[in-house]
Chain A
Amino acid sequence: MATVTIRIPTPLRPFAGGHAEVAVEGATVGALVGALAAEYPSLRRHLFTPDGQIRHFVSVYLNDQDVRGLAREATPVKDGDRVAIVPAIAGGAPAGRATRDRPAGAPDAVRAEAPFSRDELLRYSRHILLPEVGLSGQKKLRRAKVLVVGTGGLGSPTALYLAAAGVGEIGLVDFDTVDLSNLQRQILYTTPDVGQPKLAAARARLAAMNPTIRIVPHEARLTSENAMEVLRPYDLVIDGTDNFPTRYLVNDACVLLGKPNVYGSIYRFEGQVSVFDARRGPCYRCLYPEPPPPDLVPSCAEAGVLGVLPGVVGVLQATEAVKLILGAGEPLIGRLLLYDALAMQFRELRLEKNPECALCSTHPTQTGLIDYLRFCGVPGSEAAAHGPAAPEIGAKELSAALAGSDPPLLVDVREPEEWDLGHLPGARLIPKGELTEHLDELTRAREIVLYCRSGARSAQSTRQLLDLGFSHVRSLKGGILAWAAEVDPSLPAY
Chain B
Amino acid sequence: MNEIRLAPPLIATMEAHARATYPDECCGMLIGPVPAGDGPRIVEAVEPAANEFEGERRRRFVIPPEQLRATERRLEASGRGVVGFYHSHPDHPARPSTFDRDHAWPWYAYLVLGVRSGAVDGLGAFELDPESGEFAERPIVRSDGAGAGPVASGKASA
State the CA gap A59–B66 with chains docked (Å).
9
Which residues on the B side are within 8 Å of A14 (C-beta)?
37, 106-107
State the CA gap A10–B39 with chains docked (Å).
14
Which residues on the B side are within 8 Å of A97 (C-beta)?
91-92
Q: Which of B9-17, B49-57, B141-149 contacts A (4 or more CB under 8 A)?
A: B49-57
B57-80 to A contact mask, C-beta < 8 Å, 1/0 = 011111111101100000000000
State the CA gap A59–B87 with chains docked (Å).
21
Which of B23, B98, B104 has most A Cβ within 10 Å?
B104
B69 pairs with A92, CB closer than 8 A: no
A84 pairs with B69, CB closer than 8 A: yes
Which residues on the A side are within 8 Å of B66 (C-beta)?
66, 86, 136
- The answer to whether A130 has its CB under 8 Å from any CB of chain B is no
Q: Using A92-B100, A94-B59 as known contacts, say yes or no to A10 and B68 having CB atoms under 8 A apart.
A: no
Which residues on the A side are within 8 Å of B119 (C-beta)?
none
State the CA gap A46–B23 with chains docked (Å).
32
- The answer to whether A50 has its CB under 8 Å from any CB of chain B is no
Taking the nearest CB of chain A, how far is it from the CB of B89, in angstroms?
4
Instruction: With CB as the reference atom, state the residue of chain B lying closest to A103.
Output: B56
State the CA gap A113–B108 with chains docked (Å).
21
Taking the nearest CB of chain B, how far is it from the CB of A432, in angstroms?
53
B110 pairs with A91, CB closer than 8 A: yes
B60 pairs with A90, CB closer than 8 A: yes
Range class of the A interface residue count:
35 or more
Which residues on the A side are within 8 Å of B27 (C-beta)?
89, 91
Q: Using A14-B106, A136-B52 as known contacts, say yes or no to A89 and B63 having CB atoms under 8 A apart.
A: yes
Which residues on the B side are within 8 Å of A258 (C-beta)?
none
A11 pairs with B54, CB closer than 8 A: no
A93 pairs with B68, CB closer than 8 A: no
B107 pairs with A11, CB closer than 8 A: yes
State the CA gap A15–B107 with chains docked (Å).
10
Which of B36, B52, B65 has most A Cβ within 10 Å?
B65
In B97-111, the 8 Å CB interface with A consists of 97-100, 103-108, 110
In A67-91, the 8 Å CB interface with B consists of 84, 86-91
In A328-353, the 8 Å CB interface with B consists of none
Main secondary structure of the interface of A (DSSP, over half): mixed
**Of the residues A18, A89, A102, A140, contact of B105 by C-beta under 8 Å:** A89
Taking the nearest CB of chain A, how far is it from the CB of B116, in angstroms?
10
A264-300 to B contact mask, C-beta < 8 Å, 1/0 = 0000000000000000000000000000000000000
**Of the residues B55, B83, B85, B99, contact of A143 by C-beta under 8 Å:** B55
Instruction: With CB as the reference atom, state the residue of chain B lying closest to A85.
Output: B65
Range class of the B interface residue count:
35 or more
Q: Using A113-B54, A168-B54 as known contacts, say yes or no to A92 and B61 having CB atoms under 8 A apart.
A: yes
B107 pairs with A91, CB closer than 8 A: no
A242-259 to B contact mask, C-beta < 8 Å, 1/0 = 000000000000000000
State the CA gap A59–B67 with chains docked (Å).
12
B106 pairs with A92, CB closer than 8 A: no
Taking the nearest CB of chain A, how far is it from the CB of B145, in angstroms?
24
A98 pairs with B91, CB closer than 8 A: yes
- The answer to whether A414 has its CB under 8 Å from any CB of chain B is no
- The answer to whether B25 has its CB under 8 Å from any CB of chain A is yes
State the CA gap A93–B100 with chains docked (Å).
8
A99 pairs with B92, CB closer than 8 A: no
Q: Which of A104-112, A310-318, A386-394 contacts B (4 or more CB under 8 A)?
A: A104-112
State the CA gap A486–B119 with chains docked (Å).
66
A11 pairs with B23, CB closer than 8 A: no
- The answer to whether A438 has its CB under 8 Å from any CB of chain B is no
Taking the nearest CB of chain A, how far is it from the CB of B52, in angstroms?
7
Instruction: With CB as the reference atom, state the residue of chain A lying closest to B128.
Output: A11
A11 pairs with B106, CB closer than 8 A: yes
A91 pairs with B97, CB closer than 8 A: yes
B37 pairs with A93, CB closer than 8 A: no
Which residues on the B side are within 8 Å of A90 (C-beta)?
53, 60-63, 99, 103
In A127-175, the 8 Å CB interface with B consists of 136, 139-140, 142-143, 168
Chain B interface (Cβ < 8 Å from any Cβ of A) = 23, 25, 27, 34, 36-37, 52-56, 58-66, 68-69, 81-83, 85, 87, 89-92, 96-100, 103-108, 110, 130
Q: List 17 A-B contacts (CB under 8 A).
A: A11-B107, A11-B108, A12-B106, A14-B107, A46-B106, A86-B68, A88-B62, A91-B99, A91-B100, A91-B104, A92-B89, A93-B59, A98-B92, A112-B53, A112-B54, A136-B52, A139-B52
Give the 5 A-B CB pairs with smallest separation, nearest first: A143-B54, A11-B107, A112-B54, A59-B65, A109-B55
13 other A-B residue contacts (CB within 8 Å) besides A46-B105, A92-B87: A10-B81, A13-B107, A18-B37, A46-B130, A61-B69, A66-B65, A91-B61, A92-B89, A93-B97, A94-B59, A100-B58, A136-B52, A136-B64
